[in-house]
Structure 1
Amino acid sequence: MTEPAPTLPELIDMQIRTSGPMSIASYMGLCLTHPSKGYYKVADPLGAAGDFVTAPEISQMFGELIGFFVVTLWQQMGSPKDFTLLELGPGRGTLLADLLRVACRADGFRDGLDLRLFETSPSLIAEQNARLEAYEPKWIDAFEKVGRGPLIVISNEFFDALPIRQLVRTDDGWHERMVGTNNGNRVFGLNPTPIPATAMPEAIANAAPNSVFEVGLASGEVMKRLASTVSTQGGAILAIDYGYARTQTGETLQGVRKHKFADVLEAPGETDISAHVDFEALGNLATSAGLAVQPLATQGEFLRRMGMDQRAKALSAANPGSAADVTAAKNRLLDADQMGELFKVFCASSPGLDPPGFA
C-alpha cells in the first residue's frame, strides 16, 4: 500500500530533525508558499469564509480612488501609448477591477495598458482571470518580466506577507531567533552564534536587552528590483500595508486564522502569517535607486486627500438604500480606530512626478 504523502507540518518537522532549527524566514516561506502545500497555494484566505478581509473587499471606493491615482500619474507622464500596470498579490482581482473601471475612462489609457499580475495562488488566479479577462492580463513569476514603457506598481497587503528574520538582543549581543522542536512540538529558540554589532542598523544599535528586531530581507529584494526597473523605465510604486515609518525594534510577527489571532507555529499551511513593514528601509532602497519617496501617509490621510468623503456622498446620493453601508465602509477604511491609522501608504516615483494623495 502506498504511504500517504507527508503533510506540511510533517515536512517542516522532518527538515528540522534532519538539518536543525530553521530561520523564521525559512519557516514563513514554507508555510505560505510551499509549491503544493503552502497557505497561498491551497487556501482561499479572503472574505467572511476565509481568514481576513482586505480594503478592496470592503468597498469599491478603495479601488476607484487608486484608479484615479494611477490615471493621474499616467497623465503626468504624458499619457504614454505603452505602459505596464503591475499589481503584487492581487487577491480576487477586486482592486484592479474597480481601479480599471475608473482609469479606462481616460482616453488612451486602455489602448496603452499592459496589465501584469504577480500571484502564486492557483485559486486566486482563476478569480482574477474571471474579473479581469477583458483587460488581457498576464501573470508573471519574476519582477524582470514587466513589459516595456513606464511601470506603475500597486500593492495592498503584499509586503507584510514576505518572510522576515527576527533578531533578539541578549547580554552578549544579537542572536537570530529560530524554529526548532522540543518534545515533538515546534518552539522558538536562539542561534547560539551572535551577530556582529557592525551588521546591525545604527537606529537599533543601543536597543535594550530582550529587544526584537525584524529584518525584511525579502521585502528589500522586491523593492530593490522594482525600484531599479522604475528608475530605468519611469513610473511609480504604491504600497499600502500595515507597518511603521522608522526602523525600530518590536515584535510584530502574527498569525491569523478564521479572523482571529493564531499561534504561528501551530498549523503550518492553514494560518496566514505576516509582520509589519519597515517603510523606512524600503524608502532607503528606493532612494538609492534614484526614485523620489513621498512622506509616508496613513491610509486615512491618503484616502481623504484622494476624495473618499466626496465619493461616499455621491454613492449614497445615487443609492439611498445603501447609504448606511457606504458610510460604514468609509468609516472602516478611514477611522483611526479601525484601518485608517494602522495601514500606511508608501509611494516612490520617478523624479518630477507629483503623486496625488501625499502632503
Structure 2
Amino acid sequence: LRSEQKTKLSKFNVNWIDDDLLIPKIPTLLIANEFFDALPVNQYQRKNNLWYEIQVGLKNNQLTLGLSHRPTTHPELEGRFSESMDGDIVEISNDAIRISKSIGKIINNQGGCALIIDYGDWHSLGSTLQALKSHKSKNIFDKPGKVDLTCHVDFEALAKNSGCAYSRLTTQGVFLERLGISDRANQLLKNSKPKNHKSIISAHRRLTHPDEMGTLFKVLGLYARNESSPAGLLN
C-alpha cells in the first residue's frame, strides 16, 4: 500500500511515519478518513448473562463463525449489560482504542486537533462486519485477503478513550454545510461551463444528501481540553 501511495503522490512532499513518537513536537492536525473502519475488531455475544467471543473455526472443512467455549471479559464490556439482551453482539476494536489514546496524548501535549470521518454510530451494538470488493458485498470468507473487511466505527469508544476533549458526533452532510459546501458549489457553478454543472451538482449531492453519504458518514472532532471544537463541529 505504501509503495502505491508513493507512486501516486510522487509530486508531493509526503513523509510516512511508523511511530507516533517521531511526529514533530508542534500542534498537529490529524485527519482519519475511512481509516478506523478498516481496523480489526473482536465480536462478543451475550449468552446467559455472560459474554462469549465470536471466533473463526472450521466446520466440514469450511471456515465458519462460532462462540468460544468459555466466557470472556473485557473492560469495554463491563457497562454493556444494561443496554443489551441475550443474543446481542458488541464489537470492540482494541487497535482503534489504542490509536485513539495515542492521538489524544499528542493533542494534549502538543495542541492541535483530529477529525475522524467514517461510517458508524456513537455506540456499537450488533454485528456490522461485512466484506466488500469493487463496491459489492461478499461473503466474509470469500477469498480471504482478496476482499476488504470492514466494520462500523464505535465513535464513543474513540472519544472516551482519547483522554482529550471531543465534539458532538455530527453527520457529514451537516458538517460540510456548516463549512459552506453549498456556497462553494454555487460559486463553482457560477464560474464553470454548463457541461460541468451536472458533475458539480452530483458531487454535492453525493457528499451531503441523506440518501447518499450525508448521514451514512459521521464526523468526530478531538481537541485539547482548553481549546474550542474544530470548525463545523459543536462542543
| Aligned residue type for 2:157 | A
Q: Are residues 1:178 and 2:60 paired? A: no
* Matches of 1:162 and 1:243, distance apart in 2: 13
CA distance 1:198–1:225, shift in 2 (3 Å): closer
Tell me, yes or no, if the aligned pair for 2:39 and 2:96 is still in contact at 8 Å: yes
Q: Are residues 1:299 and 2:176 paired? A: no
Q: Are residues 1:268 and 2:144 paired? A: yes
SS at match of 2:213: coil
| Aligned residue type for 1:224 | K
Tell me, yes or no, if the aligned pair for 1:167 and 1:177 is still in contact at 8 Å: yes
SS at match of 1:242: strand
- Structure 1 stretches of 4+ moved >6 Å: none
Cα shift at 1:201:
3.4
* Matches of 1:177 and 1:260, distance apart in 2: 25
Equivalent residue pairs, number: 232
* Matches of 2:76 and 2:154, distance apart in 1: 17
SS at match of 1:129: coil
* Matches of 2:165 and 2:35, distance apart in 1: 21
The equivalences for 1:320-359 within 5 A come to: 320=193, 321-350=195-224, 351-359=226-234
The equivalences for 1:1-359 within 5 A come to: 41=1, 121-130=2-11, 132=12, 136-171=13-48, 173-196=50-73, 200-245=77-122, 247-286=123-162, 289=163, 291-320=164-193, 321-350=195-224, 351-359=226-234
* Ranges in structure 2 where 5+ consecutive residues have no aligned partner: none
CA distance 1:204–1:346, shift in 2 (3 Å): farther
What do the CA deviations read for 1:269-321 (whole angstroms, capped 9, x no partner)? 110111011111111122xx2x2211111000000000000110111111132
Tell me, yes or no, if the aligned pair for 1:172 and 1:194 is still in contact at 8 Å: no
SS at match of 1:219: helix
Q: Which has the higher helix share?
A: 1
Tell me, yes or no, if the aligned pair for 2:63 and 2:141 is still in contact at 8 Å: yes
* Matches of 2:206 and 2:83, distance apart in 1: 38
Report the identity percentage.
Answer: 31
| Aligned residue type for 1:124 | Q
Cα shift at 1:161:
0.4
* Ranges in structure 1 where 5+ consecutive residues have no aligned partner: 1-40, 42-120
What do the CA deviations read for 1:35-66 (whole angstroms, capped 9, x no partner)? xxxxxx5xxxxxxxxxxxxxxxxxxxxxxxxx
Cα shift at 1:199:
6.3
SS at match of 2:199: helix
CA distance 1:189–1:296, shift in 2 (3 Å): same
Tell me, yes or no, if the aligned pair for 1:303 and 1:334 is still in contact at 8 Å: yes
- Superposed CA RMSD: 1.7
| Aligned residue type for 1:325 | S
CA distance 1:156–1:191, shift in 2 (3 Å): same
Cα shift at 1:146:
1.0
